Chain A
Amino acid sequence: MDYIGEQLLPGRIGQFLIILTFVSSLIATFSYFKAVRSTDENEKRGWVKLARISFIADAFAVFAIFGILFYLFYHHRYEYFYIYKNSSNSLEFKYIFSAIWSASEGSFLLWTVWHAVLGLILLKTAKKWEAPVMTVLSFAQLCLATMLLGLYFFDLKVGSSPFALFRHQMAELPLFTSPDYISRLRDGNDLSPLLQNYWMVIHPPILFLGFALTIVPFAYGIAGLWTRKFGDWIQPALPWALVCGGVLGLGIMMGGAWAYESLNFGGYWAWDPVENASLVPWMTLVAGIHTLLIYRHTGRSLRATHLFFIITYILVIYSTFLTRSGILGDTSVHSFADLGMNTQLLLFLLAFTLPSLLLYFLRRKQVPVIAKEEATSSREFWMFIGSLVLVLSAGFIIIATSLPVFNKLFGSGLTMGEDPVFAYNRVIIFVAIIIGLLTAVTQYLKYKETAMSFFRKRILWPLVISLAIAILILAFGNINYQLHGSGYLAAIWIAVVSSVFTVVANLSYIWIGVKGKLKLSGGSVAHFGFGLMLVGILISSSKKEVLSYNTSGIYVPLGQDSKEKPGENLTLVKGVPTRMGDYQVTYTEEKKHPGKSQWYYYLDFKNNNGKEEFYLRPNAFINYKGNKGLMANPDAKRYWDHDIFTYITSLPDPERNQDTSSFVTRHINKGDTAFYANGYYVLENIQSFDSIPVQGFNKGDKASVATIKVFSKNNKTYSSKPILVEASGGSFSNPDTVVTENLVFRLEKTEGDHIDLGVKESDTVMQYVTLKAYKFPFINVLWAGTLIMVIGFLISMLRRMETRKLKKAD
């Protein structure tokens, strides 16, 4: 059949370019390999020349593929399945980028684009290391190219191409029986609403740049083992490792920021397998950077450095395997679906794991070591301990994350227990204590040996200041996290002390150690940022408060639902102010996005101190593009020291709701009867209490409860108990609702047996939102710490690049 209106040329060019990347990276790998092996200078030059041409061809093909994919998204070419699945006519321009890397094919493409960029830089700068380093990098490009092939060899599908046509992928659809199907395919299925967030425009490129960068120190390490130039490689590899640490760290934390802003677990980190999989290589990389520095200054730890960089890259590929094989299906909220490429992913993993480990263990004995034992007063001793702690904790995290893999291998059915977050936290808190202490102290030690008097003199003031600050925080910060017992609370306190020490000691070191020369203090700056991150994490997690505690807890003394502890969800009926922590919150209106089924809910927050009022607008996609139900995005009000954070958890069907009624006040006495649209009600009783176990209820406050019996026309009776609390800080009422009658009672005033009762009745279904709200203190300390740490990495990188140039000039 001839189809009308298809644009096939871009796809064909794209597919050709994919094959070109495969062939050219194959040639590049082979030629670089030959170049390393050949002893004849002329021959070597010939191979390198061929390899360079191939690699440049590969790089440009990769860029062109990206360009074509962008073109197809921009012009909504839905004949391509990838475009259909991941975009729509209403998708904003900036989200075209998120759409490109939203699914597996595009994220492999992003990865290979970064490899190409890094490869081009290495071509220019690596000099004598070019051939072996680029062999490794070209081989990685080859593996990634196979991921995009989308070709069948006999029955085996190799890779998945973003240029596959819709009608080929889904040939059996009736749609494709008509030649002009294009004209009927007017809109795409759109990008998942969760990914329509600006963080998704910048987080994936940064994260994948970080992943891509891990190959450079790995490749240098392999090159060193391979060519037996042990140790030489660390000079050029160090700046790369540093920039990698900074970029990967930034990428991971941007993922946290995205989760915080658009996912609904109420936080930035949940120990989700996908998060763990990106954190773990960063930890081993940072360990590698530290052992590398040890080697540079003392000649020790070279073997460990090799091993740590190898492990880092293997972990990067392993996390690719975990997140894309579908194996995490039952444990992660955001892994990719199974693409049917598991064998291929496994081969990718093995193709790097086996040769690199084999090479390491074969050459290990030849790597030089220093036989003399290091002094315990030396910097390198404690740096090494710290690195090892990092690697071992990375091991713990990845093993716990890999439970689904063990289940698959051994047929077991184990999974994380009741509180998976605590299962990690209870271990990592001790890691944080140790790493915090080591990070604070170690810079004050000297390489090789430190005189104790010298050490004591320099660390005294930082130690005193830290203790003072930590004591102030613990005394007045009210860190009282009781969920896991006092042992855990004590651990949190110690961790606070330790991380404050990290912050202060590293900040002071910039003056004590390097006399305020910022250029030389990259390490201290990075450690200072890291310390701030620890402080931010500890305080924001242990002091996170639920604001939306359901005030149905107020019913406890009245005998209703007495068994139940207050839940974290609170329902706000439209127009009815409800108390939430320090605020009176009113759901005032909702607005729809002009282009899509996305609703914004306006919540008016009035501070009980009467000074402050603001709106939060959490939003939700409703029944969006066949995704049944609700996908909610939070909104937050940011202060320098805390965030007020809220998101929608449940909604009535918005289409049916047009409630415009408001409260009407009636003055009635005990025993009086009044009518409403569907029947009548009687004020049966008024009770007053002077103590109820509710937060904010103080001595001298008064709570009144009216008992109202409702008799509806259809012979049903209901009981309703609105509450009025008259507190010293002002009074607030807690309305009660008779749902089936759409009737809301609000107690406004009581005087003996006489009350003012607000009555609101609506003839349509009630409008309400159910939400959760949290207060996160000091989350900005975490974000600021992250940025400072990244800046520290970059300062170090620049410094190391400079010393490299100076050394060359000598």
Chain B
Amino acid sequence: MKKIHIAILVLIVGAIAVLISLLPTLSTYETVASAKEKQGKYVHLIAKLDKNEPVQYDAVNNPNYLSFVAIDSLGQTVKVVYNNAKPDNLEHSERLVLKGKMEADHFECKEILMKCPSKYTDDPKRVQESVNNNMQTN
């Protein structure tokens, strides 16, 4: 076998090893119930903001504390704590991907990904809203 072939083999084995080492660091998508079963494990919780419950955020007192209640598609709720600034369109989001871990009574969130009603969606209702909007502003 040529040296170059050995080198290629070594590199490919290395690449595969790197990929395998990635696996244990991966996380999973969960619901409230399944996240509660995985206490302390870093997961992606897919839920919505529960609009019946108040959102707690006071930027003047502590801009790094946000707390709200999330509800998943099965109707289960969990308190979420996020030690960061409140994403401004939280109340208008349709769907939240909450990255973090369950800690006893609440979900300690590290990162929030929001799915907002995009103006690019071709949902007629939203387009009508935007049309109305543009008629008013002029």
Contact = CB atoms under 8 A, between A and B. Distances in A.
B122 A169 contact: yes
Interface string B23-50: 0011111000000000000101010000
A694 to B, nearest CB: 16
Interface in B1-38: 2-4, 7-8, 11-12, 14-15, 18-19, 22, 25-29
A472 interface: no
A579 to B, nearest CB: 15
13 contacts: A169-B122, A185-B131, A192-B119, A376-B3, A393-B15, A550-B63, A561-B62, A564-B64, A566-B64, A567-B62, A567-B65, A739-B58, A772-B85
Contacts of B52: none
B63 A374 contact: no
A337 B118 contact: yes
Q: How large is the interface on A (under 10, 10 to 19, 20 to 34, 35 or more residues)?
A: 35 or more
B60 A737 contact: yes
A395 B133 contact: no
B62 A552 contact: yes
A173 B124 contact: yes
A384 B15 contact: no
A189 B130 contact: yes
Interface in B79-132: 83-92, 97, 99, 110, 113, 115-116, 118-122, 124, 126-131
A415 B59 CA distance: 32
Interface residues of B, number: 62
Instruction: Name the residue among A103, A373, A417, A570 with the largest chain B CB count within 10 angstroms.
Output: A417
B11 A392 contact: yes
Interface in A383-427: 384-385, 388-389, 392-393, 395-396, 399-400, 403, 413-418, 423, 427
Contact of A395 (B15, B46, B61, B89): B15
Contacts of A627: 89, 116, 119
B26 to A, nearest CB: 5
A626 interface: yes
B128 A388 contact: no
Nearest to B14: A392
Contacts of B131: 173, 175, 185
A652 interface: yes
A739 B121 CA distance: 40
Contacts of A85: 119-120
Given A186-B135, A567-B84, A329 B26 contact: no
A423 B60 contact: no
Interface in A316-337: 329-330, 333, 336-337
A415 B28 CA distance: 6
A652 B59 contact: yes
A414 B26 contact: yes
A403 B22 CA distance: 12
Contact of B97 (A330, A374, A737, A772): A330
B22 A400 contact: yes
- Kindly list the 9 A-B residue pairs having the minimum CB-CB distance in the complex, ordered from nearest: A567-B64, A629-B89, A649-B85, A630-B88, A629-B88, A628-B92, A569-B63, A187-B134, A417-B25
A172 B123 CA distance: 11
Given A174-B128, A571-B63, A768-B60, A399 B3 contact: no
B124 A414 contact: no
Given A649-B63, A650-B59, A739-B61, A564 B83 contact: yes
Nearest to B128: A173
Given A373-B3, A423-B22, A625 B59 contact: no
Given A569-B84, A630-B89, A770-B85, 9 more contacts: A170-B127, A337-B121, A373-B4, A374-B3, A392-B11, A550-B64, A626-B119, A628-B89, A650-B63
A185 B134 CA distance: 7
